Amino acid sequence: GAVVSQHPSRVICKSGTSVKIECRSLDFQATTMFWYRQFPKQSLMLMATSNEGSKATYEQGVEKDKFLINHASLTLSTLTVTSAHPEDSSFYICSAPRGGINEQFFGPGTRLTVL
Amino acid sequence: DAKTTQPPSMDCAEGRAANLPCNHSTISGNEYVYWYRQIHSQGPQYIIHGLKNNETNEMASLIITEDRKSSTLILPHATLRDTAVYYCIGLYGGATNKLIFGTGTLLAVQP
């Protein structure tokens, strides 16, 4: 089946630094990818829709200048958490739909800890 | 997309069928019912989806009521590895559209 990978799987950084998370579709092309965040014991919250070759679409309340999304190729979307603070510590997950298949494929997630 | 309501948690004995209900009374005629699950600290996994008819695949069965206001996901022989949070989601237009996750049901399969 289709596979979506994320890198890194886990990252710890100091407050004020920026962190980039990669989401790759390994065996299919994805013109659209989705980014979610999940706090402990909570559900997934959709942050934004990443569109290949164009600007991302952010959900209400998500700061686009803080969470920079780039979808530069058909197999790669990146999420950069800029000037990270402890409250940005969370589990970040991406997903990608595959054409002709009625499901989205999720990455394994990236756990971000900001000290 | 339709708002869905699920019980927060359920228990099931290993080897028995797990029946997970979902209410979606505001679902519209062309809105699909999708089920995903999330095992702890992993990304969600697709299970099954349907529109009007009951559906079955290698993982589960989906029973949708005739009025489409509710559905039940059935895991026929639950195993310990089926312990997860199960999400029922109403979705227009198929898999390319964004998924809005509710609170889901934590299914705990007991040995």
pLDDT in tens, A50-75: 999 899 999 999 999 999 999 989 99
What is the C-alpha to C-alpha distance for residues B2 and B22, in angstroms, rounded to an integer? 12
Long-range CB contacts (within 8 A, 24+) of B58-66: B60/B35, B62/B33, B62/B35, B64/B33
**Does the structure show a pLDDT above 70 at A1?**
no
Question: Residue A81: which pLDDT band, with cuts at 50, 70 and 90?
Answer: very high
pLDDT at position A99: 75
pLDDT in tens, chain B (111 residues): 678 999 999 999 999 999 999 999 888 888 899 999 999 999 999 999 999 999 999 999 999 999 999 999 999 999 999 999 999 998 876 656 788 899 999 999 999
Mutate to test the interface with B, among A28, A94, A98, A106 (most CBs of B within 10 A): A106
N-to-C CA span, chain A? 37
Query: Among A39-43, A105-109, B92-96, which is the least confidently predicted range?
Result: B92-96
pLDDT at position B27: 87
What is the C-alpha to C-alpha distance for residues A62 and A37, in angstroms, rounded to an integer? 11
**Residue B20 · residue B76 · CB < 8 Å:** no
Mean pLDDT of all residues in A24-37: 94
| pLDDT over 90, % of chain A | 87
What is the C-alpha to C-alpha distance for residues A108 and A93, in angstroms, rounded to an integer? 7
B98–A contact, CB cutoff 8 A: yes
A4–B contact, CB cutoff 8 A: yes
| Short-list A8, A2, A17, CA closest to A92 | A8
Please tell me which residue of chain A has the smallest CA distance to B94. A102
Residues in chain A: 115
pLDDT at position B95: 59
Nearest by CB to A93, from B43, B85, B100: name it. B43
Other Cβ atoms closer than 10 A to A114: 20
Q: Bridge partners of B11?
A: B108
What is the C-alpha to C-alpha distance for residues A80 and A11, in angstroms, rounded to an integer? 12
Find residues 65-84 of chain B whose CB sits inside 8 Å of chain A: none
Based on DSSP, count helices (H) and strands (E) in chain B, helices before strands: 0, 9
B50–A contact, CB cutoff 8 A: no
A45–B contact, CB cutoff 8 A: yes
